[in-house]
Structure 1
Amino acid sequence: MSERHGGRGGGYRRRYHQRDRDDYDDRRRDFETPDDKLKTAIIKLGEVDPVEEIPRLEQQIRDHVPRNIPIVSEAFRIGVTEQPYKIPFYAALLRLLHNPTELSLPDEMPLGRLVLEDFWKGFQSYLDKLAWRDTRLCIHFFAHLTVAKLISVDSMFALLRSFIAVLDEFGVSNGRAKQAALCAGEGLLVAGAALKEHSASGVDEIINAIQAYADTTTQQKWLVSPATRISSQAIPHDSAVELLEILLSTLTTLNQSDFKETENCIPQPYTLSPDDAAVTSKPYYLPSVLVPPEVIELDSMSPDSGEESQVKKEAWPEFFMRLFPNDVSPNPNSPAGYVVRTALMDIVDIFEVNRKECARLLLEYPKWNLPGTFKPKPGATTTVEPTPGKDWQLESTIIETILGTFLLLPEPTTKSIYYIALITELCKLSPSTVGPAVGKSIRKLYGSLSDGLDVEAARRFAEWFAVHMSNFGFQWVWKEWVPDLTLPVQHPRRAFMRRAVEFEIRLAYHDRILKTLPESMQKPEAYIIAREAPGPAYEYDDPANPHYEAAQAVLNLFRGRAKAEDVIAHLDTLKSTLETSEDGHVNVDSIIRSIVVQSLLHIGSRSFSHFLNAIERYLVLLRNLATGGSSSVSGTGNPEAKADVLTAAAGFWKNNRQMVAIVFDKLMQYQIVDPTDVVAWTFMNGVGVGQLAELGGPMNLSAFEWDLLKGALDKANGRVTIARRKIATLRKEDDDAQARVKARADDTMEVDADPKGEAVPVVENPALSTALKAFSSLTREQKAALSRTLEGFVACLAPSKTEKHANPKARTVITEEAWANRTNWERDEWNAWETWGWYRQFCRAYSPYLRAYATTLETVSFAKFEHEKDEAADLLKMVWNIAIGQEA
């Protein structure tokens, strides 16, 4: 019976279900209206061969009855803004629609003109909303139509000048200016030939305006360059390129040739048509536009700013890593290189919602570019000759573009996991061609670690490497890096190997990763992988520990789920006992906190749910410990007590740094400790966690300490954001309630009532008052966390004269001369270099928040340097000034 139902019956049901699904698809297609079918056909232009499909699609549009211009223009807008690689072909289609037919009346408006006029309305809406990407892509479309002689050259010049005018606005933000420059510059890149023929001075005006703005961002470029030089502001251009710089280089090159090279880097299918009827008709004159101003925000730290005025991220110059030579991937400073790179970046950006579709489109990109641009696929038969100076490797170009966006500083435009998953999808689609490109990229990035790759970029590189290895069996040729084990233990290459292995263990387990490493990397002295799997380290598990019995008693109370009050009473007794037996110099309170925290974590170490249950069950106990035994839980607590709690937690998970960060986050979430406490603890004790703790040495910030700092700062900033949103919601509810009360009073008012009577009493909203008080408290907490972080960096990087005398090499400024001699650096120099890198990341990543409290923060942190000359202090202040937008 089971065999019949599982075999024949199951197969029958599957076939029957498939037939039903096919019938449903057929019915759904039947329900699709003719307008919908036309819209879909326009959007899917070029599924096989765009050049051959354009005439058929033109005829389909003309034959569509009744004529529906809004549907056609909407399809064009979707195609242009969501499939920008098709823009030249949409321009060719619109040109054909612009041509008159045999059935056209003498004074009839061309169909293409009607579509273009309606398309302009959509562009205007993008501009009004400051949807920069859609606006820029529409400008690409207009530029192609200008070359096709469908749009007036004068009006195209006027459109580009309206964006150039943004660069001259007083106090224009970096993000707004950069986007306006890209709109104007890329429009000129496409339509340059027609514009230069009309007015050479107008072309020079646009290029010079972009150049003038780019020259004002020199210091910002230095702060976000992926190749760190610390004290020298020289930016090496061999390893990375900046977006506006390569745009200007491209425009300059094209301008020198009167933009004749444009046709060698951008498809222009509309020039292939032998019919020039469209040229004789009057071109469309684009209406005048004014780029809307940015929304003027109130004080972003004030609750009055509301949800619409949240702290905006600072828009920095965009540097992209170069991984391959110019004969493998396009030179981004060349016209063809810029076009290819930006086209691939647009695809990656637009198709974030569907990484599988994005991977497919990236590998199909050569279909939309000029023939001969990329090498043909292995085994493919083609009669197209490779274009001199091109013939690039598609997969290497794609990987370089994705990783360049992934490693943008201070952070990528999208979540890091998207870029990692996208590369994985590419490898699955074409493993034989994408795999080697990924391997070469890893080797190139690994080599750049010795050449000053920024610490944040190196951290992301380790994250990507580990996740990518986990998707492909953790197979890597580790033996290539064995010679680097002779480098100092804090050298970036050894630090990378250590982090990558740690991330891999998180994604698998210790023994599996251990087997993938060469024998020399498995040794403890290599400091690549820990001796044992990450796990808890319960200090009081050893009977030889003097506090073993006391800890066991507390542990038994937790196991028996004793009430928090009973545990507190037991601790009071334990304290009296320890004070009697211990030496007077021993801090009994610290011992008790360590016993309680470690015992509680020991109970919760079985799983994450056990950990959360243990924390939530004994919240009263933990808050009592954090307040130094005070009965007041609402107070600010005892800093020493909170530091003890954090130290005990870090000691328990010293072999698993991921769990240290998780426990710290939960302690902040349950308000047992504050973000400021975590920041202070990190600068004082962070070096004592992990494999290198046994080596000792001066305090330095590695990626682990930065993760703790970032978690604390994000927690403080996030609480302020949530509180501001809550206030905005309560105020709206309060206003609505007051309006309803007033409306009811107006309805009941007598006709002959005195209009100057008493006003409707305003009832105070207790929830709003509470929210405002909470916002004020959280703002102080945020300010304290930022201030403590800045003070910690200043103390680390610009120590006092006494500290310098004790360890003269601990915190030195990395001069250009010292950098050139980095092959002789030891651990102290690399420690200083990495700590400087995390200070740069702190300033640039949190610049909007730092700017809000700039006066107070710099007064507190830099006051001691007012009357003394210190090279490190000068560098600290220079980085700070650039981050907050002042002249350095």
Structure 2
Amino acid sequence: MSYERPYYNKRRNRDDFDNPRREVYETPEQKIRTAIIRLGEVDVLQEIPRVAKQIREQAEGSVPAISEGFRIGVTEEPYKIPYYAHLLRLLHDPPEGEAEASSSGGTSLGKQILEDFWKGFQAFLDKLSWRETRLCIHFFAHLTMAKVISVQSMFNLLQSFVAVLDEFGVSHGRAKRAGLCAAQGLMIAGKVLKEDSVTNVIDIINAIQIYIETTSAAKRLVQPIVHYHAESDTLENADELLETALAVLKTLNASDFAETANSYPQPYADLPGLPEGAAPFELPSVLVPPEIIELDGLAADTSEDAQVKKEEWPEYYIRLFDNEVTPDPVSPAGYAVRSALLDIVEIFEVNRKECARLLIEYPKWTLPGTFKPRPGTPAELQPEPAPGKNWQLESTLMEIVLGSLFVLPEATYKAIYYIGLITEICKLSPSTVGPAVGKSIRRLYASLADGLDVEVARRFAEWFAIHMSNFGFQWVWKEWVPDVSLTHQHPKRAFMRRAVEFEIRLAYFERIAKTLPEGLQAEGAHVLPEHAPGPDFEYDEPSNPYHNAAQSVLNLLKGRAKADDVLAHLETLKTTIGETAEGDVNVDSVIRSVAVQSLLNIGSRSFSHFLNAIERYLAVLRSLSTGGIDARTDILTAVSLFWKRNRQMISIVFDKLMQYQIVDPTDVVAWTFTNGVGNERGDTEGPSAINAHDWDLLKGALDKANGRVLVARKRVSALRKEEDDTRARVKASGGDVASMEVDAEAKPDEPPESAALTTAVKAFTSLTTQQKNALARALDGFIACLAPLSSDRRANPYAREVLTEKAWHNRANWTDDDWNAWETWGWYRHFCRAYSPYLRSYSTTLGTVSLKKFEGSTDPAALQIVKIWNVSIGEES
């Protein structure tokens, strides 16, 4: 039977394609699968019997489609899992009026569906699709509570994931995901598992605790609140994902899992047991596949062979509100709500609007009284507040989404997803979500001076600016006017400057200025820049001694003179300036500055003008950069002076100079530590420091070096594979199989590598050296800023003092130098954790060269540098 639209003649009208009301036919299998996926769109408890009846009526030959519907629902709509368990439990009963199931030789329909569902679960496990695997375990756990799955087989399944924690050298990411699979499965099915065996439950909890105890050092490096003087891993306003799961398990175990019914919906709880003679389903035994380690085959005896894998750290989620306002993550009910919301945020990353809608509607899938009723809900429809719950949905959503955005060292998805998601949530319910957003901003702002990590503070400023741009830049800035009296480098004042800078990028200077109160526009406030973003051509004023020389270069560039003519004119200028210069003037530096700033000036009208100018005069730039490190430093300095009013353009131009290989990433790193901003005032007398703008430059340079190595590695691998395949084909066509199986000594000499492969290997080697040099220069730069033993710069006493507990409690009296040192420590921590895979590859050489000077030192700054380094490369646990 055909379910496609019939055509009654060969001519098809345009209406066949353009009419939106034309009927679309679905096969019975598609209809039943859709019915399962859409379960609960109105009232889930009323729909379950109807859907169960529909499944029975169309079950013959449709079991794969039915089980597919369950798989999609379980893994993409996890908030429905308890109700899917209820539905499958009903399908285990025989049809009404029959003594026993007769769907297939006495096998119940529910069992058939579960057998096919297991095949999908095994596929998820084989591919190490951890989220889908964990959600399937949720489904099995609920079915165990519903007496559909045997208790012993459920324990064996959980034990398979617990075994991962004992693997030799297991990565934290693998152990964390496996531990969550076991922990969350035990939270749901723990009651029946403990009734069957107390020892089995204790074994699972102990195994998770033993693993967590081995991660204490790593946790300190990714905590969103920084206390250098504290050795404890416990934070009052941040929670680690696996650690909270362990706390919940202990709480549940103490009550014999009685609180599970108050944490997870159990709509199947009142159903009778399985029909007489029906045995529960036995889950097959499984083995969690090992991690896949890819090799590129470059040199089998070096640690750089393995493809660089992103280092996975403990996950900390920052908390903004009290337990009475948002779910307590260490309580069973609070953990259940938070984990469900996190799953929704992760699953629906592909559609932020749908994600926002589901988050707003999430209370319908929770137990009554979990959240406060929405404004306008009739009194007769409002459930009684549940003890220990009655949370605010909007504040909970803000805490969940912002917590995901602020995970260190980087969030799961791009920051723009979380920012856009908050915007969509606000659009759905502006009157209720708006106050929650304002409270979140105020809580984060207050924590800036209480140890908030510098990277979290940077993301906070970015989110704040983008969110304000989506809602007319409306914020109560006057609340922060008193903070202008704080020291210039105080984190709150730094945040205001950074946020306003981001806002100006998203709008324009005059509009943002109008949103600020007079107290923040005052000359001494240093919140609003003195000038609108734009170029600052140093040689534009006639009073400048090199004005005429710059104008002559500008005229050539505007006239699109050839690069050779420009270079010839620069040589002439060099002679002229050298003859007329007074005092000790570096003529070459002057020429480079004049040429680079003139080139940037003609490209300052737009980004396309800039790219055209750079590409047209690449030969000029390459010639200017041939004078060694000093020449490249002069080029970078000229760029920073020209765009000092628009620091975003400095990062952009530096990136293009690296792309066109005018300067190397190592040059940018070195320039940042020697000529970077250091502090917002531009002082040169205070101790050197790194701020957020400097970090943007460092990150751009390091990412460029690492990205080049990755591309080169892939090219070498591809060429080598292609060459090996070609040789194999040649050998195969030249003789039989036996002729290939001879001793290596008897084989003829292998043909030489192709020219393309040889070139690619040389490029890879060169780029690897460049990568190593950039990382080494960054490490040396941080040591020079922070360590008093450095010889290239004078000692920085503030870097030592801000580490002590006494100094931290006295931070209200810190000077600008203290806060500069504190921020530099923060960026050093972030450098080590963000680039730990690369640092680990070069740990032996970098550690020996840069950190050997600290052997035997008792200085707190030196010890802190070494400690952070050792944690990042995995040598301290």
Tell me if both proteins adopt one fold, taking TM over 0.5 as the criterion. Answer: yes
Residue number in structure 1 paired with 2:595: 596
Query: 1:269-312 deviations in whole A, cap 9, x for unaligned?
Result: 11133x43447620111111111111234489969999995311
- Look up the SS of the partner of 1:270 in the other structure: coil
CA distance in 1, matches of 2:557, 2:474: 44
Moved more, 519-528 or 229-238: 229-238
Do 1:38 and 1:61's aligned partners in 2 also have CA atoms closer than 8 Å? yes
Indicate the residue corresponding to 1:3 in structure 2: none
**In 2, Cα distance between equivalents of 1:48 and 1:308:** 55
Deviation at 1:498, TM superposition (A): 0.4
Asked if the contact 1:374/1:390 (under 8 Å) is kept, the reply is yes
What is the match of residue 787 of structure 2?
798
Q: How much does 1:825 deviate?
A: 0.6
Amino acid at match of 1:131: S
Q: Tell me, yes or no, if the aligned pair for 1:88 and 1:268 is still in contact at 8 Å.
A: yes
Q: Percent identity?
A: 63
Provide the aligned length of Structure 1 versus Structure 2: 854
Provide the rounded CA distance (Å) in 2 between the counterparts of 1:96 and 1:177.
36
Task: State the match for 1:785 in structure 2.
Answer: 774
Q: Residue in 2 aligned with 1:167?
A: 165
Q: Is residue 801–residue 807 contact of structure 2 (8 Å, CA) maintained in 1?
A: no
CA contact (8 A) 1:300 1:310 kept: no
Q: Residues 99-114 of structure 1: matches in 2 within 5 Å?
A: 99-101=93-95, 102-103=97-98, 104=100, 108-114=106-112
Stretches of structure 2 lacking an aligned partner (at least 5 in a row): 1-12, 740-744
Taking structure 1 as reference, are residues 846 and 285 closer, same or farther at Cα in structure 2, changes over 3 Å only? same
With over 3 angstroms needed to count, the CA separation of the structure-2 counterparts of 1:45 and 1:733, relative to structure 1, is same
- Residues 714-740 of structure 1: per-residue CA shift (max 9 Å, x gap): 000000111111112222322333334
The reply on whether 1:294 has 2:291 as its aligned counterpart is: yes
Distance 2:750 2:408 in 1: 54
- Give CA deviations for 1:818-861 in whole Å, capped at 9, x if unaligned: 10111111111111100000000000000000000000001111
Within the alignment, does 1:487 sit opposite 2:486 as a pair?
Answer: yes
1:644-659 equivalences under 5 Å are 644-659=634-649
- More displaced 10-residue stretch of structure 1: 212-221 or 100-109: 100-109
Q: 2:831 aligns with which of 829, 834, 842?
A: 842
Question: 1:855 is matched with which residue: 831, 844, 857?
Answer: 844
Q: Which of 728, 731, 740 lines up with 1:739 in the alignment?
A: 728
Q: Which piece of structure 1 moves more, 306-315 or 585-594?
A: 306-315
1:329 aligns with 2:318: no
SS in 1 for 2:668: helix
How far apart, CA to CA, are the structure 2 residues paired with 1:757 and 1:160? 54
State the distance in 2 between where 1:579 and 1:883 align: 51
**Alignment correspondent of 1:255:** 253
Q: CA deviation at 1:233?
A: 2.6
Q: Is the 8 A contact 1:804 1:810 kept in 2?
A: no
Matching residue's letter, 1:790: L
Alpha-carbon offset, residue 22 of structure 1:
8.2
Q: State the match for 2:145 in structure 1.
A: 147
- Taking the aligned partners of 2:721 and 2:304, their CA distance within structure 1 comes to 11
Worse-matched range after superposition: 878-887 or 96-105 = 96-105
CA drift of 1:800 comes to 3.7
Structure 2 vs 1, CA of residues 239 and 361 (structure 1 numbering), >3 Å: closer, same or farther? same
Picking from 646, 658, 661, the partner of 1:668 is 658
- Alignment partner of 1:537: what SS? coil
- Equivalents in 1 of 2:491, 2:518: separation in Å? 21
- Superposition deviation, residue 757 in structure 1: 11
Which residue type is aligned with residue 441 of structure 1?
S
Instruction: Give the unaligned 5+ runs of structure 1.
Output: 1-16, 629-637, 751-755
Correspondence for 1:132: 130
Give the TM-score normalised by the residue count of structure 1: 0.93
1:317-336 CA distance string (max 9 Å, x none) = 11111111111111111000
1:742/1:760 contact within 8 Å kept: no
Residue equivalent to 1:43: 37
In the other structure, the counterpart of 1:728 is 717
Q: Matches of 2:539 and 2:301 in 1, distance apart?
A: 52
Instruction: Compute the displacement of 1:763 (Å).
Output: 5.7
Residue 539 of structure 1 is matched in structure 2 by 538
Query: Is the CA contact 1:327–1:390 (under 8 Å) kept in the aligned structure 2?
Result: yes
Q: Please tell me the residue identity of whatever aligns with 2:58.
A: H
Shift in alpha-carbon separation, 1:208–1:687, aligned structure 2, 3 A: same
Kindly provide the CA deviation profile for residues 176-209 of structure 1, in whole angstroms up to 9, marking residues without a partner as x. 1111110000000000111011011111110111
SS of the residue corresponding to residue 320 of structure 1 reads strand
Taking the TM superposition and a 5 Å limit, the aligned residue runs for 1:72-221 are: 72-101=66-95, 102-103=97-98, 104=100, 108-221=106-219
Give the partner amino acid of 2:230: S
> Which residue in the other structure is 2:28 paired with?
34
Tell me if the contact between 1:223 and 1:840 (Cα under 8 Å) persists in the aligned partners.
Answer: yes
Structure 2: how far apart are the matches of 1:470 and 1:763?
Answer: 60
TM superposition shift of 1:706: 0.5
Structure 1 residue 566, shift from structure 2 partner: 1.1
- Could you tell me whether the CA contact under 8 Å between 1:298 and 1:304 is conserved in 2? no
**How many Å separate the matches in 2 of 1:577 and 1:343?**
73
Q: Tell me the distance in 1 between the aligned counterparts of 2:748 and 2:876.
A: 53
- What is the distance in 1 between the residues matched to 2:790 and 2:151? 67
Distance 1:269 1:802 in 2: 70
Q: For residue 195 of structure 2, what is the amino acid of its counterpart?
A: E
Determine the structure 2 residue equivalent to 1:233.
231
Structure 1 pair 601–177 and aligned structure 2 pair: CA distance change class (3 A): same
Distance in 1 between the 2:635 and 2:170 partners?
47
The alpha-carbon distance between structure 1 residues 67 and 748, as it changes in their structure 2 partners (threshold 3 A), is: closer
Is the contact between residue 93 and residue 101 of structure 2 (CA under 8 Å) also seen in structure 1? no
Alpha-carbon offset, residue 817 of structure 1:
1.5
Within the alignment, does 1:642 sit opposite 2:639 as a pair? no
Cα distance in 2 between the residues matched to 1:25 and 1:860: 73
Does the residue aligned with 1:692 lie in a helix, a strand or coil? coil
The question of 1:276 aligning with 2:273 is answered yes
Whether the 8 Å CA contact 1:449–1:493 is kept in 2: the answer is yes
1:231 Cα deviation after fit? 3.9
Partner SS for 1:544: coil
Q: What CA distance in whole angstroms lies between the structure 1 residues aligned with 2:324 and 2:799? A: 43
Q: Assess, with a 3 A threshold, how the Cα gap between structure 1 residues 869 and 305 changes in structure 2: closer, same or farther.
A: closer
State whether residues 190 and 262 of structure 1, in contact with CA within 8 Å, keep that contact through their aligned partners in structure 2: yes
> TM-score of the superposition, structure 2-length normalised?
0.94
Distance 1:679 1:179 in 2: 36
The alignment partner of 2:60 has SS state of: coil
Question: What SS does structure 2 have at the residue aligned with 1:217?
Answer: helix
Structure 1 254/267 Cα, relative in aligned 2: closer, same or farther at 3 Å? Answer: same
Give, in angstroms, the shift of residue 75 of structure 1: 1.0
Q: Distance in 2 between matches of 1:272 and 1:300?
A: 60
Distance 1:602 1:105, change over 3 A: closer
1:823 aligned residue:
812
Comparing 490-499 with 383-392, greater Cα deviation is found at 383-392
Q: 1:300 to 1:325 in 2, by over 3 A?
A: farther
Letter paired with 1:845: A
Q: Which moved more, 1:225-234 or 1:208-217?
A: 225-234
- 1:265/1:806 Cα in 2 relative to 1: closer, same or farther (>3 Å)? closer
The structural deviation recorded for 1:810 is: 5.8
Q: Residue in 1 aligned with 2:742?
A: none
Amino acid at match of 1:606: R
Q: Residues 699-718 of structure 1: matches in 2 within 5 Å?
A: 699-718=688-707
Relative to structure 1, is the Cα distance of residues 817 and 761 closer, same or farther in structure 2, using a 3 angstrom cutoff?
closer
Q: Distance in 2 between matches of 1:810 and 1:271?
A: 60
**Alpha-carbon distance, 1:23 to partner:** 4.5
Write out per-residue CA displacement over residues 443-471 of structure 1, whole angstroms, 9 at most, x where no aligned residue: 00000111110000000000000000000
Kindly state the Cα deviation for residue 337 of structure 1 after the two structures are TM-superposed.
0.5
Q: Which residue pairs with 1:634 in the alignment? A: none
Q: CA RMSD in A?
A: 2.4
Between 1:159-168 and 1:234-243, the stretch displaced more is: 234-243
CA change 1:426–1:340 in 2 (3 A) is same
State the secondary structure of the residue aligned to 1:399: helix
C-alpha change, 1:729 and 1:723, in structure 2 (3 Å) is same
Shift of 1:582: 1.6
Specify whether residues 343 and 143 from structure 1 end up closer, same or farther in structure 2 by C-alpha distance, changes over 3 A only. Answer: same
Q: Is the 1:299–1:305 contact (alpha carbons within 8 Å) kept by the matching residues of 2? A: no
- State the 1:379 CA deviation: 0.5
- Distance in 1 (alpha carbons) for counterparts of 2:464 and 2:275: 54
Check conservation: 1:139, 1:187, Cα contact below 8 A: yes
SS at 2:317's partner residue? strand
